[in-house]
Amino acid sequence: MKKNKRTIWRGELTTTGKLARRGWLFMSPGFFWICFFLAIPCLVLVLVSFCQREAYGGIDFTFTGENYSRLMGFGGLLGWTPDYIMILGRSLLTAAITTFFCVILSYPIAFFIGSRQGNSKYVWLTLLIIPFWTNLVIRTYAWFLVLAPEMPPARFAAWLGLIDHGAALYPGTFAVYLGMVSTFLPFMALPLYASVEAMDWSLVQAAQDLYSRRTRVFRCAILPQTYPGLSIGIVLTFIPCMGMFVVPDMLGGAKYMLMGNLIQQQFGVSRDWPFGAAISFFLMTITLVALIIIRKKGLKHL
Amino acid sequence: MKKPGLLLVISSVGILLFLYLPLMAVAFFSVNSSKYGLVWKEFSFKWYVRMIQDPYILNAALNTLILAVISTAVATTLGTALAIGMENFPWGKRLKSFLDSILHLPVITPDIILAAALVVVFMFLRKLMSIFEPGLLTMTIGHITFQIAFVALVVRSRIASIGHNVEAAARDLYANNVYLLWHVTLPLLMPGIIAGAMLAFTLSLDDFVISFFTSGPKSVTLPLLIYASVRRGITPEIHALSTVILLLTVILVFTFERLTRIQNRAKNNPAKGRK
């Protein structure tokens, strides 16, 4: 739109310059809002991650890579410590395991809803959508009630000798995974369902007619067709999982720290913003890498 | 598709139970009259009565509502304008893909990073103006930032589904810009705008992380209140409050579903969907 040419656009005789000006008039408030409060702050965050912390929690703008070497475990009182790397590794592991369970649980429910007809389909779909919109804090603390010592799950575990009598099933790794999987399951199941709905069942039929084993039917006829939904589901599960801090904070107890908790701690009690920014930047990088990998893989399958 | 096997039915119902069991437990204990422990005593609504008499809860509810209404109003306006600007003008391919990635930025950024970025930007703004102290204003700005993108995406899909024939026809009949926007474009987009606004409203009610990072001592919202009371020890009033929020969510989801279904029907069969 360099030249100011006369043009006809959707029934209007106008010039390209006029159109561009009008278009920007519509876009600029929202566009600049996102730039000003998200895009630029993210860049500032990267900048801050190379700064130092002032004595009272402010930011000292002398550039250093200290925050990153600290994240990799150097520069502590005892030389090298694996503490932060452990947290990063645990975040990746938790996100991977949660995603895995979400995938396993999402397939049956996606196929089930896909097989329903008419109104009953909408009822089941709405049942899946409601937890998706329910407040995270409520959903997380609700597990306190289910896992409380008086309730059947904890009693059963005590009867099996897994925990002491009168103990609760939280806080701990098990409770964190329960909370994580139940939080992210709808994020996986809904896009997967959308893919199942668009599936061409004659391919599955053909595979069965040609005596494929069930695993082969799934791998060659179902998986490639559901890949678009699956990849969106993985993005929606894996990435927020890495930055999650509510669930591990409430259900994991003091010892169960993930990257999200570490960031929250730096911006909260520790008031070490440069270090928090460094962890955030690390998380951003992982997010981008994950997005790129999934996009590449998705193209291969199409 | 063939009929599902028994195993599929059982596993699906089991999975949904897994999602709903905790929520049902909250609703169950909210109407239990016993204060301590999770033992059923008798049915009573007394925690609901206590809840609406609690000044802290009322204050938090008011804050949540103010925050949700204002941020939704602003985000819906800006998001709709952004969607119209992006879709209804002949942008070049490169500009369009750049705008697209800016629009998707709030959707893919993990909310904790958005929160951290906002903390930093408010710190700088505070040095210029004191109104950026953590409080309702900073929370509203934070909410608007992620709401805009969701509103714009919903409205954009509506624009794509209605096409631009009606607009071109209006132009042929000498509609000017203002008339076209006010009497043609906006009424056509209304179902999408309402759906986007409801989505934004629900997102605002749901949000914990952004609020947690940007709130001040006087701007406690309901999710923050529940989180804080979990630390102090849960009281049955919190169960009652959570149940009310749950019911509200269910109503919002149903209305939203209804709207999008009407919209889809209009897409498939334009004659039927229009009033």
pLDDT-above-90 percentage for chain B: 33
Taking the C-alpha atoms of residue B204 and residue B142, their distance in angstroms, rounded to an integer, is 10
**Chain B partners of A126 at a C-beta cutoff of 8 Å?**
253-254, 257
Could you tell me if residue B139 is inside a domain? Answer: yes
Contact across the interface for B208 and A246, Cβ inside 8 Å: yes
- Domain extent, residue B142, equals 54-233
* Contact between B121 and A41 using a beta-carbon 8 Å cutoff: yes
Question: A145: Cβ–Cβ under 8 A, 6 or more apart, which residues?
Answer: A151, B22, B25, B26, B29, B38
Domain membership flag for residue B151: yes
- B256 touches B198 (CB < 8 A): yes
In this predicted model, what pLDDT tens digit does every residue of B202-253 receive, in sequence order?
Answer: 889 889 999 999 988 888 999 999 999 888 877 888 889 999 999 988 888 8
Report CA A227 to chain centroid distance, whole Å. Answer: 18
Q: Which chain B residues are Cβ-neighbours of A10 within 8 angstroms?
A: 88, 164, 167-168, 171
pLDDT in tens, A153-186: 887 888 887 777 777 777 888 899 999 999 999 9
More confident residue, A247 or B256: A247
CB < 8 Å to A29, chain B: 78, 81-82
CA A300/CA B268 separation, integer angstroms: 32
Nearest by CB to B171, from A1, A11, A48: name it: A11
CA B180: distance to chain centroid?
29
Whether residue A108 and residue B12 make contact (CB cut-off 8 A), yes or no, is yes
For each of the domains in chain A, give its residue range(s) and CATH number, in order of start: 95-301 (1.10.3720.10)
B82 Cβ contact list (under 8 Å, min separation 6): A26, A27, A29, A30, A31, B103, B148, B152
Number of domains in chain B: 1
Taking a C-beta distance cutoff of 8 angstroms, is the pair A179, A134 a contact?
no
Over residues B68-126, the pLDDT tens digits come to 999 999 999 999 999 999 988 888 888 888 888 888 888 888 889 999 999 888 888 88
Distance CA B275, CA B271 (A): 9
Q: Is residue B203 part of a domain?
A: yes
Closest residue on chain A to B172 (Cα): A11
SS3 content of chain B, % helix, strand, coil (to 5): 80, 0, 20
Q: Which two three-digit tokens encode residue A302?
A: 């199409």
**Could you check whether the bond before residue A108 is cis, i.e. omega within 30 degrees of 0?**
no
Query: Using 50, 70 and 90 to split pLDDT, how confident is the model at A302?
Result: very low
Residue where the block lists tokens 């550039």: A63
For position B134, which CATH number holds?
Answer: 1.10.3720.10
Q: Is residue B126 part of a domain?
A: yes
The answer to whether residue B165 sits within a structural domain is yes
Check residue A235 and give its pLDDT: 85
Q: Does residue B274 form part of some domain?
A: no
* B160 in a structural domain: yes
Cβ-contact A40, A52 below 8 angstroms? no
Sequence-distant (≥ 6) Cβ neighbours of residue A74 within 8 angstroms? A80
Query: What CA–CA distance (Å, rounded) separates A185 from A178?
Result: 11
Q: Which residues contact B215 (CB under 8 A, 6 or more apart)?
A: B134, B135, B138, B139, B221, B224
Contact status, residue A36 vs residue A48, Cβ threshold 8 Å: no
Q: What is the ipTM of this complex?
A: 0.84
Mutate to test the interface with B, among A13, A33, A269 (most CBs of B within 10 A): A33
Nearest CA to CA, how far is B275 from chain A (Å)? Answer: 23
Residue of B nearest to A268 (CA): B213
The residue assigned the tokens 């106008």 is A14
> Which residue in the set B18, B84, B117 is minimally distant from A42, CB to CB?
B117
